Amino acid sequence: MSAGADARLVAPATARNRAPLGAVLDAVLPAAGATRPVLFEVAAGSGEHAAFFAAQRPGWDWWPSDPSAEARASIAAWTAGLPNVRPPLDFDAARDPFPPGPLDAVLCVNMAHIAPWAATEGLVRGAAGALRAGGPLVLYGPWVLPGVETAPSNLAFDADLRARDPRWGLRSLDALAGCAAAAGFGGPAVFPVPANNVVIVLRAGAQARSSR
């Protein structure tokens, strides 16, 4: 990410991936009703996704979060003036409990491969406890898929990540599915998108917070 003229950070990939990601969100998010549904965005980064998607979905209450103070300042700058975006929350999925909810959806873009695996485990466990039954947990990024040859560019990216931090690297869908099943999610739905990325959707099981 690069810095703009003010607190806003700029992630060039956002402009490329927001349309295909938005198409999947359109397909999997529940319709907004009389009660404004809440989407909690984990590791919202620059805040560009939050600004773009929240502006397109005025019937949703968008709640971005990030553990980085610099990122939270950028999120606040990008989303200033959007009445359906909450102030960004200081939240680290590896260590912090999820907000109590109820949450209607959880979104996490490009976090799993640039964080310790504990962050993804915390994301899955926390989302399972905070989502309404059937609510989607949506993840975007490069993942290693069973039976699918990993693109050379993704292999090079994985090697670069692990050289920078041995706790980082591309994650396997099988590992995510096992973690999700243990938390009570259904099986993953996988949506291919450009640039050798995928969108993964997990649905919270019946034991989620259906009583709220």
pTM: 0.94
Q: State the DSSP string of 143-180.
A: EEPTTSPPPHHHHHHHHHHHHH-TT---EEHHHHHHHH
Instruction: Name which of 65, 55, 196, 201 is nearest 135 in CA terms.
Output: 201
Instruction: Give yes or no for a contact between 105 and 132, defined as CB atoms under 8 angstroms apart.
Output: no
Instruction: Report the CATH fold assignment for 2-22+36-203.
Output: Rossmann fold (3.40.50)
Q: Model confidence over 100-144: pLDDT tens digits?
A: 879 999 999 999 999 999 999 999 999 999 999 999 999 999 999
Give the residue extent of every domain in the chain.
2-22+36-203
Cβ atoms of 51 and 81 closer than 8 Å: no
Output the pLDDT for position 31: 84
Distance CA(185)–CA(127), nearest Å, equals 10
User: What does the pLDDT look like over 19-71, one tens digit per residue?
Assistant: 999 999 999 998 877 688 999 999 999 999 999 999 999 999 999 999 999 99
pLDDT at position 71 is 97
Cα–Cα distance, 97 to 99 (Å, whole number): 6
How is residue 64 written in tokens? 């971005």
- Residue 5 pLDDT class (50, 70, 90 cuts): low
